[in-house]
Amino acid sequence: MKLNQSNCQAELDTIKHIPRKYYGQVFTTDERVISKMIDTIKSIYKPGTKIVEIGGGLGYITEHLIEHFDDVDCIEFDQDLFEVLYKKLVHSNNMTYLKEKSDISNKYFIHKPKSEEDLANVNKSSKNKKVIQQSRRRLINGDILEYLPPKQDYLLVGNIPFHISGKLYRKFMSEIDHKPYGMVFITDKQYAKTLMGQPPRCYRMSLQAQSYGDIEIISDVPPTSVYPEPKVTSCIMKIRQNQRQLPKNFWKVVNYHFENFPTDEVESPKTVDLKAWIKLCDKS
């Protein structure tokens, strides 16, 4: 099927699914954009690490991920779309599936065997926990905000829903110990610019993102490349973790001045960049 807005709408009509605005459901329908996204992922990908996709949707990006990478977790929250992904991916090439409870939670897994022997083992006993543990391409029906990061290094990718952006960045940039070593997202371009913000528009979310990694807008994603067509321009954004160590009192100092300005040290916190905040922390 050729990827475009009309065919995406037709596929959604077939499964009687209306994109849920509350979930921010949109689908990338431009092969050139997806190809650019895959190239961007490859530019920071470390061999032997995991790709974690946020929101598989109709599988347009997922199909490319499992073609190019050996170790992929696709997280889809919506039950209807999960069923679509389940049917699409199970019947792709030599993929098979496991429909068992894992040791962590009750999820579905999709596994691409590496050999005929591996395939025989899967078909022989779908309850083989060893096979489940070795499954490196998985489809998971769940919430990315509840997802347990893998033990190995990983990249976070996807066409991310706007409504969870703040919580998503807070979790993976600040709250968890084992952070991704990079992120590649299709996201609202204005939001990406906010993350890159410099004085006089350097917000707390800007500081959070910049303290985590180096941010780059790779290319625009026009509204015609997305369905339903949004009113804003999106972009492919790449963030590479920079391993910057913040002072222990960093957020305490930043939050104090943002919530109590003007202070003796800071008249307007949005006019203070990351380096200046770090210097202020050293003085506190």
What is the pLDDT at residue 221?
Answer: 97
- Look at residues 94, 62, 89 and name the one whose alpha carbon lies nearest to residue 75: 62
Rounded to the nearest 10 degrees, what angle do helices 204-212 and 274-283 cross at? 90
Instruction: For 199-211, write each residue's pLDDT tens digit.
Output: 999 999 999 999 9
Q: Are 102 and 93 in contact (CB under 8 A)?
A: no
What is the pLDDT at residue 39?
Answer: 98
Q: Are 238 and 215 in contact (CB under 8 A)?
A: yes
What is the pLDDT at residue 260?
Answer: 96
Residue 144, judged by CB atoms within 10 A of its CB (0-12, 13-18, 19+), counts as: buried
Q: Which pair of structure tokens corresponds to residue 153?
A: 């290094």
CATH of 5-241, one of 3.40.50.2300, 3.40.640.10, 3.40.50.150, 3.50.50.60: 3.40.50.150
How far apart are the C-alpha atoms of 74 and 57, rounded to whole Å?
A: 10
Q: Is 15 helix (H, G, I), strand (E, B) or coil?
A: coil
Q: Which amino acid belongs to residue 151?
A: K
Could you state, in order of their start, the residue ranges of all structural domains in the chain? 5-241, 250-283
Residue 101, judged by CB atoms within 10 A of its CB (0-12, 13-18, 19+), counts as: exposed
What is the pLDDT at residue 112?
Answer: 53
How far apart are the C-alpha atoms of 2 and 6, rounded to whole Å?
A: 10
* Parts of the chain with a pLDDT under 50: 93-106, 118-134
What is the pLDDT at residue 269?
Answer: 97
C-alpha dihedral sign at 270, 276, 278, 282:
negative
Q: How is 45-77 classified by DSSP, letter by letter?
A: --TT-EEEEE--TTSTTHHHHHHH-S-EEEEE-
How far apart are the C-alpha atoms of 166 and 155, rounded to whole Å?
A: 18
How far apart are the C-alpha atoms of 284 and 277, rounded to whole Å?
A: 11
What is the pLDDT at residue 133?
Answer: 40
What is the pLDDT at residue 144?
Answer: 93
Instruction: For 107-136, write each residue's pLDDT tens digit.
Output: 555 655 555 554 444 444 434 333 334 457
Phi-psi region of 158 (alpha: psi -120 to 50; beta: other; left: phi over 0): left
First-to-last CA distance in the chain?
A: 60
